């Protein structure tokens, strides 16, 4: 049976990132269909919208199937023009903004890109958090661990860096990370710099086989990457974390999104 | 007039990140209302769902206003239980999955977290892209610029790092960045390592006043951070980019999301 192929068109007068994120979430529920994305961001004038309309109809004619249009168009007039296209529409504003206006007894402000503009204090705190994560990656600096919201520990390549960055970008969390290295296992205690911050420490661990694969890509055939050494480091790190009472998560089969959300839950429980 | 305050509850049997992203996009359209988020991810059993139901009703009673529940619950039965709550619902699956099933003539797979699991090749390419961005941050390594999808150039602190990381995480793009430093301006040509990759180069620039503020936070009262030096570097970098025919973007009033989407557009035009 031939695979069904469908073009998905993301349309927005902003970046279209909200539309795209929703699209991924919805369309990933349908197996065995190949979705090809096309992006039309920043459609903020009638000219641009009419160009896009023509492109949508062109896709429809060429493919013989109507494309799926996922849109966050805040301007009702421009949105109306787009709806003339021969397409299947998922219109976030149509579906939710009008009912929300009633519920909140307020009018929406038709402000493009408001969710991530410089005027938005949340945006600025997100960038500050990302800079914090970069400055405190892999124990690079411990001058400011006091102001960290969370400190991740674990062996090299256990997933600390991507998780820290994701926590900063998605949740504006100041996330530092600190590697556990063979010296720590020999001393059999936590790096002393971390001791004052025990309540903010969470561990990451990983299956030795997967760690071996990941490290081997970086430094093939090194002792560092050998399965034997990976087994030793993971076992020693888990022993250390168990003794120090650090709660840890296994990153082997978890995505960074899942990990990040689980860590957020832990922080909420603690607070 | 007292500010309206509303609790927003994100509910999902996955991470809830799709729900939260949509929520930000929608609610940021309503000015002057204070939204307080509560998150209930990973609700994958009847017990957890009933706990959540009780918490939603509790919020409603305590606050005297029904909360806004934004949900991506793939399991119809669990979703039904949640809908008994006294709340205003924005239900992404209700609104869009059933019409999509008809349009695609396919059944959805009720697969939690499918959009970012390890089984998903897109997820793996996203992590690979992020590792690439980290390994090629600030000209750290030029061993692999050949395989970069895009190389950002600009003066120190013009926004290269956050933009590169965002491009990698959101669009799985291999984004490297390379600083333009005073030596480049004196020589008056591009760093020679970049010359083979001219077609992948894009510039970032920034208002000298803002650069001055950003650098001053890092190294107060340094020559590096002085307004005079910032003016010199920005002017010299723009001159260099103009002469080399490198298209550049001003990051002063743009969010990284906007920048990232604009760079994506440029790449699509080039390809």
- The domain locations on chain A are 4-116, 121-270
Residue B64 annotated as part of some ligand binding site:
no
pLDDT at B158 (0 to 100): 94
B188–chain A nearest CA distance, Å: 30
> β-strands B201-205, B175-179: how paired?
unpaired
Considering only CB atoms, which chain A residues are within 8 Å of B39? 261, 264-265, 268
pLDDT at B22 (0 to 100): 81
Q: Does domain A121-270 have CATH number 3.30.1360?
A: no
Dist. CA A138–CA A164, nearest whole Å: 10
B241–chain A nearest CA distance, Å: 25
Residue A161 annotated as part of some ligand binding site:
yes
Interface touch A92/B39, C-beta < 8 Å = no
Cβ(B151)–Cβ(B177) below 8 Å = yes
Nearest-by-CA chain B residue for A87: B103
Interface touch B261/A25, C-beta < 8 Å = no
DSSP state of B3: P
Which among A168, A165, A167, A193 has a CA at the least distance from the CA of A178?
A193
What are the tokens at A123? 């945006």
Q: Which of the residues A16, A24, A28 would you substitute to probe the B interface, choosing the one with the greatest number of B C-beta atoms within 10 Å?
A: A28
Cβ(B11)–Cβ(B38) below 8 Å = no
> β-strands A33-40, A4-12: how paired?
parallel
DSSP state of B253: T
Give the residue carrying structure tokens 């787009």.
A82
Considering only CB atoms, which chain B residues are within 8 Å of A255? 113, 116-118, 123
Which among B197, B265, B208, B204 has a CA at the least distance from the CA of B240?
B204
B22–chain A nearest CA distance, Å: 6
Considering only CB atoms, which chain A residues are within 8 Å of B166? 169
Residue B62 phi, psi dihedral angles, 5° rounding: -65, -40
Interface touch A116/B258, C-beta < 8 Å = yes
A198–chain B nearest CA distance, Å: 25
Interface touch A109/B30, C-beta < 8 Å = yes
Contacts by B135-144 with C-beta closer than 8 Å and gap 24+?
B136/B164, B136/B175, B136/B176, B136/B177, B137/B161, B137/B164, B137/B176, B137/B177, B138/B177, B138/B178, B138/B179, B139/B177, B139/B178, B139/B179, B139/B191, B142/B178, B142/B193, B144/B176
Residue B266 phi, psi dihedral angles, 5° rounding: -60, -45
pLDDT, tens digit, 9 for 90 and up, residues B57-86: 999 999 999 999 999 998 889 999 999 999
Interface touch B130/A162, C-beta < 8 Å = yes
pLDDT, tens digit, 9 for 90 and up, residues A235-261: 999 999 999 999 999 999 888 889 999
pLDDT at B142 (0 to 100): 65
Residue B156 annotated as part of some ligand binding site:
yes
Q: Which one of A114, A117, A258 has the shortest CB-CB distance to B29?
A: A114
Dist. CA B117–CA A266, nearest whole Å: 21
Residue A223 annotated as part of some ligand binding site:
no
pLDDT at A135 (0 to 100): 82
Q: Which residues of chain B have pLDDT under 70?
A: 1-2, 110-122, 142-143, 269-271
Residue A193 annotated as part of some ligand binding site:
no
Residue B155 annotated as part of some ligand binding site:
yes
Dist. CA A249–CA A268, nearest whole Å: 16
Q: Which of the residues B15, B127, B156 would you substitute to probe the A interface, choosing the one with the greatest number of A C-beta atoms within 10 Å?
A: B15
B210–chain A nearest CA distance, Å: 12
Nearest-by-CA chain B residue for A40: B265
Which among B161, B162, B133, B128 has a CA at the least distance from the CA of B145?
B133
Q: Over chain A, what is the mean pLDDT?
A: 88
Q: At what angle do helices A160-171 and B160-171 cross, to 10 degrees?
A: 100
Q: Which residues of chain A have pLDDT under 70?
A: 1-2, 110-122, 141-143, 269-271
The class (CATH top level) of A4-116 is alpha beta
pLDDT at A136 (0 to 100): 84
Q: Give the ipTM.
A: 0.78
């Amino acid at each position: 049976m031939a695979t069904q192929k469908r073009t998905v068109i993301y349309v927005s007068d902003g970046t279209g990132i909200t539309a795209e994120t929703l699209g991924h979430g919805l369309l990933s529920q349908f197996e065995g269909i190949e979705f090809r994305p096309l992006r039309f961001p920043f459609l903020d004038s009638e000219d641009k919208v009419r160009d896009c309309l023509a492109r949508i109809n062109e896709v429809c004619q060429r493919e013989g199937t109507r494309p799926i249009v996922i849109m966050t168009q805040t301007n009702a007039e421009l949105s109306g023009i787009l709806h003339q296209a021969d397409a299947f529409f998922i219109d976030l504003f149509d579906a939710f903004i009008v009912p929300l206006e009633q519920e909140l007894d307020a009018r929406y402000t038709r402000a493009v890109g408001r969710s991530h503009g410089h005027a938005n204090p949340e945006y600025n705190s997100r960038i500050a958090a990302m800079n914090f994560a970069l400055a405190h990656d892999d124990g690079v600096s411990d001058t400011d661990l006091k102001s960290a919201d969370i400190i991740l520990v674990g062996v090299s390549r256990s997933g600390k860096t991507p998780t820290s960055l994701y926590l900063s970008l998605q949740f504006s969390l100041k996330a530092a990370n600190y590697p556990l290295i063979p010296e720590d296992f020999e001393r059999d205690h936590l790096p002393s710099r971390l001791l004052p911050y025990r309540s903010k420490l969470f561990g990451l661990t990983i299956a030795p086989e997967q760690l071996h694969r990941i490290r081997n890509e970086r430094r093939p055939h090194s002792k560092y990457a050998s399965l034997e050494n990976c087994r030793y480091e993971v076992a020693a790190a888990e022993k250390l974390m168990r003794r120090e009472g650090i709660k840890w998560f296994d990153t082997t089969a978890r995505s960074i999104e899942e990990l990040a959300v689980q860590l957020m839950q832990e922080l909420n429980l603690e607070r």
